[in-house]
Amino acid sequence: MNRKRIGQWILIVSLLFAMVLVAGCQSSGDQPASSSQVSESTDKNNSSTSDSGEGTEDSDSGETQGLDPLVIAQQEWEISAHASSFVADSEGHNNACARCHSPKNWTPTLEDIPESCQACKFELPTPPVFIQESDWLHISCIMCHQVDKKGVVQSEVEWLEIPVLEEYASIESHSELCLKCHNTENVPEHGLVVVDSGHADMQCTECHSPHDTTTTCMNGDCHSDVLSDTDQILGHDNDHKDVSCAACHDNAGWDVGPDPETGIWTTFSPWSHEVMIGEADSILQSGTIPFSSHDIGLEVNCERCHYSGNPWELTENVEIP
């Protein structure tokens, strides 16, 4: 996961660089966003044609690219986890996974259809057990935005409630939209997002970009002074450079420890049961998976890690002024 993130950052940086270059050369190419066109095709090398059957056509908007919010959204999305969401379970099944990982590919059963639509008279095909990776549409623009007849993605945010009927539902908040899929309470091997304590009133999109989905605690106006030269707080120091903010500031009492994959200290989502990730010898002893807690508070207990007999051989008694 960390490798993926480093990759994402490299891509973001190079994209920004490319955008600066393009902006420099084409500053006369400004046009209103709505006149430009972005394909929802999942083919990463091809942003103006589509084989996904959504009626996308070519247009002559090429020279407006670079500053167009649609193009920026497209570029950000392409490097996100939402654009590479193909999965299959150990038996090689993935129609059930597609419900969240590629809802446009998902073939629901009648019980899966919202009650409001139970009375609809339409035939549902028998769900396939496996959808080919080449057919997978990922979490594309159409899940969160309507697309007009010309294939232009509208900037209003909506939710494609019933993909088979192309029926959209309005949403009250951005968090409601994200939680359509990030409510993984009953999905084993998945982490759980519960935004609480210090950030309880915040929307997902106040921290995460909806398109590249990345964030840090120090972005924008948030906590940019933390870890600076003027920051004298115990724990905000070089000793803890491999400890994530959430590992110290988690308020939910989740287990903490180093992520077996990255070595960075993090929290472990308590929801999953015995899970196996990768090889059989990497079964996680605690029965939980590394996942950033979103229940973040001010109070930090040094003894959470520095207790006597701790398994990591950290100093047992640390100075607490």
The footprint of ligand HEC on residues 249-288 (CB under 6 A) is: 249, 256, 265
Contacts of 169 (CB under 8 A, 6+ apart): 158, 159, 161
Binding region for ligand HEC (CB under 6 A) out of 9-17, 18-26, 107-115, 301-309: 301-309
Q: What token pair was written down for 250? A: 């988690």
To ligand HEC, the closest distance from the beta carbon of 119 in angstroms equals 25
Binding region for ligand HEC (CB under 6 A) out of 21-29, 57-65, 118-126, 296-304: 296-304
Residue 226 engages ligand HEC in binding (rule: CB under 6 A): yes
Distances (CA, A) of 320 to 211, 236, 243, 307: 42, 14, 18, 13
How many residues contact ligand HEC, by CB under 6 A? 88
* DSSP secondary structure letters along 247-301: HHHB-S--EEEE-TTT--EEEEES---S---SSGGG--TTS-EE----EE-S---
Q: Which is nearer to ligand HEC, 69 or 128 (CB)?
A: 69
Residue 70 engages ligand HEC in binding (rule: CB under 6 A): yes
Q: Segment 16-45, which members bind ligand HEC (CB under 6 A)?
A: 33, 38
Q: How far apart are CA 73 and CA 84, in angstroms?
A: 16
Binding region for ligand HEC (CB under 6 A) out of 12-20, 52-60, 85-93, 119-127: 85-93
Q: Which is nearer to ligand HEC, 26 or 154 (CB)?
A: 154
To ligand HEC, the closest distance from the beta carbon of 117 in angstroms equals 18
